[in-house]
Amino acid sequence: MKQFTAFSLLAASTAVIAAGQLDSADVVIEALAGAGHADVRKVELDDNLWEAEVRGADGRYYDLHVIPETGAILDPKSDRPVLTAAEIRAQLESKGYTDIDDLDLDGAVWEAEAIDASGIEVDLVINGFDGSVLYSEADD
């Protein structure tokens, strides 16, 4: 069994689990349980992010994401506010993206289509807390 560490970053109101060990759904489930998410289901790796459904305090399930490289848990139910579509658009434009379209929020992760600085149409996955691009893939 793999070892992991869970702790909260109080200033950011987001949890982090040990990075570099998130190589299977079972490990992600264990790590999320260690971070306080006792009821976890439907864990899958999609667009280089782990996505899981967890049961909230109200008994309803919601999506959260885990960044495999850093172990950051992107939990929309945290105290940290998710950036608005306008704020995400501004962040992307400041990074050279144009023709930003189809902005869609999934938990604390934004998805968008855009043209990157080199003129390639891309699909983007964006951290909803800080606007950083987590994944970029040429659009088919």
Residue 16's pLDDT is 55
**For residue 82, what is the DSSP state?**
P
Contact between residue 20 and residue 58 where contact means Cβ atoms under 8 Å apart: no
Residue ranges of the domains in the chain?
A: 6-74, 85-138
Largest CA distance in the chain: 46
User: How far apart are alpha carbons 37 and 17 in whole angstroms?
Assistant: 12
Residue 139's pLDDT is 81
Residue 131's pLDDT is 96
Q: Minimal CA–CA distance to 67: which of 18, 140, 110, 29? A: 18
* Architecture field, domain 85-138: Roll (3.10)
Residue 104's pLDDT is 96
Residue 17's pLDDT is 58
Residue 11's pLDDT is 27
Phi, psi of 92 (to 5 degrees): -65, -40
- Rounded to two decimals, the pTM is 0.81
Residue 100's pLDDT is 97
Residue 23's pLDDT is 76
Residue 81's pLDDT is 95
- The residues of the chain scoring below 50 in pLDDT are 1-14
User: How far apart are alpha carbons 137 and 23 in whole angstroms?
Assistant: 21
